Structure 1
């Protein structure tokens, strides 16, 4: 039935400002733009930027999409350098991987999951 995440939508006050911030941080292309909505492509997943409205105020609460990462510390630092703050974690999740949530300067929550800690390479 479900085949994977197609898109994660953030409800934002200023699409242009958030678009520039995401592009600067992730170096990803814009795949669609209109006055009320913009989409950028990160891997095979779109991040949609939708203007806040009466149904979604953009407070960051609710569902959180978790992005696969291979170096949690590096990702945390990169996002902190871009103005994000730790929101939850990093902690070891109940099923073993490291998980973390960060809040961006616009109030959106980004989730990260690192499964590499389950099978660390031998040095």
Structure 2
């Protein structure tokens, strides 16, 4: 679950630029949006300053086949650098980016 000020826009941006899918975003109710990928549901919930403040969620990492290329594409699509890239075990790299809406997410994959 990603808490967002504008769940629809966030869902559509992640679907297109992070997941690289054709738009399959669906609104469930009360401003909640989700996209399902290989049986995994990623939800975009309206931020609630009292219960779930914006930016207080965990950092989700998305697998990618080429971290450097995907990172550059995301930067061109409006994301900003946050941390990394760092080389970790097994020939993998990770990095964190800030989406155009202020939320932090990560990429994980071969450099």
Same fold (TM over 0.5): yes
**1:98 equivalent among 82, 93, 96:** 93
Give, in whole Å, the separation in 2 of the partners of 1:12 and 1:62. 10
Contact 1:100 1:112 in 2 (8 A): yes
Correspondences of 1:41-60 after superposition (within 5 Å): 41-53=36-48, 54-59=50-55
Q: Residue 73 and residue 43 in structure 1: after superposition, are their counterparts in 2 closer, same or farther (change >3 A)? A: farther
Which structure 1 residue ranges, 4+ long, deviate > 3 Å from structure 2? none
The alignment of Structure 1 onto Structure 2 pairs a total of residues equal to: 106
Structure 2, unmatched stretches of 5+, are none
Higher RCO (CA-CA < 8 Å; seq separation 6+): 2
Contact 2:84 2:95 in 1 (8 A): yes
Partner of 1:76: 71
Partner of 2:80: 85
Give me the CA root mean square deviation.
2.0
Give, in whole Å, the separation in 2 of the partners of 1:42 and 1:87. 25
The TM-score normalised by the length of structure 1 is: 0.73
Q: By how many angstroms is 1:36 displaced?
A: 2.8
Give, in whole Å, the separation in 2 of the partners of 1:69 and 1:22. 13
Correspondences of 1:33-48 after superposition (within 5 Å): 33-48=28-43
The TM-score normalised by the length of structure 2 is: 0.79
